[in-house]
Amino acid sequence: MPPQPPPRRGPRGANLGQLGTFNQAVVLHAIRTSPGVSRVEIGELTGLAGQTVTNICRRLLRDGLIVEGEPVAAGQGKPRTPLAIDAAARHAVGVHVDPALTTLVLLDLAGRTVSAETFPTPRAADAPATVREVGRRVVDFLHAAEVPRHRVLGVGVATPGPVDVARGIVDNPPHLPGWHQVPVREELELAVGLPVQLEKDVVAAATAEVWAGTFAAASSGALIYLGTGIGAGLVVDGEVLRGASNNAGELGQIVVDQGGEECRCGQRGCTRVVVSAEEMLRRAGTGAPPASLAELDVELRRLYDRADAGEEHALDVVRSSAVAVARAALLVTNLLDVERLVLGGPYWARMSPYFFAVAPAMFAAHAAAHDIHPVELLSTPVGEHLAAVGAASLVLDRAYSPRPGTLVIAPATR
C-alpha cells in the first residue's frame, strides 16, 4: 500500500465504564416520570434485568434520591413496593436574564417550582456589574428558600444568544444592548459560590420541556419561544439540539410578512421585526414609541385588550402577527419533520387564542408530511417562567438524564 494520510477523527468504541451510570439515570428517569412504579414495572419500562433494577434502586435509596411507599398487593404475586423521587433531595436554581426582567426559580428534583421571583433586570454600571447584582439576588433568594446548600446542585443561566457556552460568555446579543463578551459564568460563580451553567434562552426553555416530559412520545419536537425575540428550541429523541456552538434555534431572519418593516438583514417583514412588540405597536399606531421596556409591556397589553374587545385595527395587527408566528412554526415543522410543536414564552399567553384561530388550517394545508402524520400544536405546560425553569432544568438534566452518547469512550485529552 502507498503512504497514507494521517488517520481522521471518527466514532469511538464503547466499553462497560459508563454502563452503570447510564442505567442508573434510566431508572431514576422511570421513577421520576412514573411516580409510584414498582421495581417490576421499571424492568418492563427500561428493559433492564430484575437484579440490575434492584441493585440500582438500593443505590438510589442509599443516596436518598428516591423513597419507598407502602407495599401494595398485586394479584397473586408478591406485593409491589411503589417508588418515588424524594423531591427535596436535590434542587437547582434557574436564572433567566431578559432585557426587561430577570426571573429566579428554585426547582426540586421532581421538577416542581419551589419558589420563584421576578424583578426588573438591574441597571448597573456595566454588564459584569449587572451580573454580580443578579448574583447577590440569587444568594438572597436561596437564603429565603431555606434549602440546605448541600442540596443545591448548581445554577443554570439563560440569556439571549449568541452565547459562548464553552467559555461561559454572553457574546453580543442584539437583545441585550451593551453586553459584549460578558463572563457570566465566572461572575456568577464568584457571587453565588455554586457551579454555573450558561445556555441560550431557547435551549434552556427546550430543556424545561424535555425535563417536564412534554416531548416524551415525540421523536421530533420543537418549541417556539416568544420573548423579546422569537426563537426555536429543537428536540430530537428526547435531546435538545444545540448545534455546533450551542446557538441553534435562530428564527429571527425568516420572512413572514412581505408588507412588513425593513430588517437589518436587508429583507422586509422578517419574524424579528413582525413579531416584535415594537413593530406590533408601530402598526397599531399607538403614538410615540414606548420610552422603556416596562412601558412597552403596558402598551402591548393594551393592544391585546383592544383586540380581545373586538376593535378592528388592533385585531388586524394581532392576527397578522399570529399568522407570522404560524408561518415560522410551519417552516420549523417542515424542515425538521416535527410531530409535536409547543409554544411558550412571556409574549405567548396573550397571542395564544389568535394563533390557534389560524394555525390549524395553515398546518393542514402546508405541513409537508400531513398525509403521513398529524402535527400536534400545544401551549407549554411549563408555565410563565419557562426560560428560568429551563435554566434550572439544565442543571438537573446534566446531572440525571441518560444519554446513549455517554456509553462511548471519551476521546483522550492530549
Residues within window 125-154 making contact with a copy of itself, judged by CB under 8 A? none
Determine if 235 is a binding residue for a copy of itself (CB under 8 A): no
**Site for a copy of itself contains 287 (CB under 8 A):** no
Least distance from C-beta 263 to a copy of itself, angstroms? 10
How far apart CA 104 and CA 138 sit, in angstroms, is: 7
Told to check if 364 binds a copy of itself by CB under 8 A, we report: no
Scanning 18-26, 129-137, 146-154, 273-281 for contacts with a copy of itself by CB under 8 A, the matching segment is 18-26
The answer to the question of residue 161 lying near a copy of itself (CB under 8 A) is: yes
Letters for 74-113 (x = contact with a copy of itself by CB under 8 A, - = none) are --------x-x-----------------------------
240: nearest Cα among 21, 405, 369, 87? 405
Choose between 208 and 281: whose C-beta lies nearer to a copy of itself.
Answer: 208
Count the site residues for a copy of itself by CB under 8 A.
104
Shortest Cβ 414–a copy of itself spacing (Å): 10
Region of 110-118, 137-145, 368-376, 385-393 interacting with a copy of itself (CB under 8 A): 368-376
Cell numbers standing for residue 257:
410578512
Place of cell 399567553: 349
H-state helical runs in 238-385: 271-274, 277-284, 293-308, 312-336, 348-366
Task: Tell me how far apart the alpha carbons of residues 119 and 218 are, in angstroms, rounded to a whole number.
Answer: 35
Cα end-to-end distance, the chain, whole Å: 29
Among 114-122, 186-194, 296-304, 402-410, the segment contacting a copy of itself (CB under 8 A): 402-410
Q: Which residue, among 231, 233, 248, 394, has the nearest Cα to 325 in the 3D structure? A: 231
Q: What whole-number distance in Å separates Cα of residue 291 and Cα of residue 102?
A: 19
Q: Is 250 in the site for a copy of itself (CB under 8 A)?
A: yes
* Min separation Cβ 179 and a copy of itself, Å: 12
Out of 102, 130, 197, 246, the only residue in the binding site for a copy of itself (CB under 8 A) is 246
Residue of 63, 71, 74, 253 that binds a copy of itself (CB under 8 A): 253
Q: Helix, strand, or coil here: 203?
A: helix
Q: What is the DSSP string of 44-97?
A: HHH---HHHHHHHHHHHHHTTSEEE---B--TTSPPBPPEEE-GGG-EEEEEEE
Residue 41 makes contact with a copy of itself by CB under 8 A? yes
Cell 435509596 belongs to which residue?
Answer: 61
Q: For the chain, count helices (H), then strands (E).
A: 12, 14
Q: Does 258 bind a copy of itself (CB under 8 A)?
A: yes
Q: CB of 91: closest distance to a copy of itself in angstroms? A: 22
Residue ranges in 321-350 that form contacts with a copy of itself under rule CB under 8 A:
327, 330-332, 334-339
Calculate the alpha carbon distances from 372 to 5, 214, 338, 362, 368 in Å. Answer: 45, 22, 12, 16, 9
User: How far is 195 from 271, CA to CA, in rounded Å?
Assistant: 35
Least Å from the CB of residue 255 to a copy of itself: 4
Q: Does 219 bind a copy of itself (CB under 8 A)?
A: yes
Residues constituting the chain:
414
Binding segment for a copy of itself (CB under 8 A), chosen from 9-17, 57-65, 109-117, 132-140, is 9-17
Shortest Cβ 36–a copy of itself spacing (Å)? 4
Identity of the residue, 68 or 140, whose beta carbon is nearer to a copy of itself in the bound complex: 68
